[in-house]
Amino acid sequence: MYLARLIYTSHPSDNFKPEDVENILTASRRNNLAKSVSGLLYFNQNYFLQCLEGSRSSINQIYHKILNDDRHGTPLILEYKEIVERDFPRWEMGYLPETADTRLLYRRFSGADEFIPYHMSGESCHRLMIEMRKLVKAV
């Protein structure tokens, strides 16, 4: 079973409520554990940035489920790659909200101080998430 990584971004929709983050994480951790999918979700009120790692078919199934969720919209795949090793093996779905520390990272990986993942390369988003990994406190 080929190991793969998918990184996408999306916007929260009008249907999204702040308390949905907790519901999304609970469902994600349950479903991802069952499919050996791991990853990280970053959310800064304007954008979701999520990395999913696991078998190609499991990622595909989970991503299709995510696409049908009306709590977000305009999804864009930023990177899809077959990989030899996971970068986020510890978390069924790690979560990181925006903080002063995450804001400091934007300039390093994009051409602007503002975080607009739609304007970033897949590789920059991937590296940004690797740095974010160090800031995740609890799952």
Residue ranges in contact with ligand FAD by CB under 6 A: 10, 23-24, 27-28, 31-32, 41, 48, 50, 52, 62, 65-66, 69-72, 93
Max alpha carbon distance in the chain (Å)? Answer: 39
CB of 139 to ligand FAD, least distance (A): 13
> 57 or 104: whose CB is closer to ligand FAD?
57
CB of 4 to ligand FAD, least distance (A): 14
CB of 112 to ligand FAD, least distance (A): 23
Listed in sequence order, the residues at least 6 apart from 104 whose beta carbon sits closer than 8 Å to its beta carbon are none
> 70 or 113: whose CB is closer to ligand FAD?
70
List strand residue ranges (DSSP E) for 29-130, in order.
Answer: 38-43, 48-55, 72-82, 94-97
Contact 119, 111 (CB under 8 A): yes
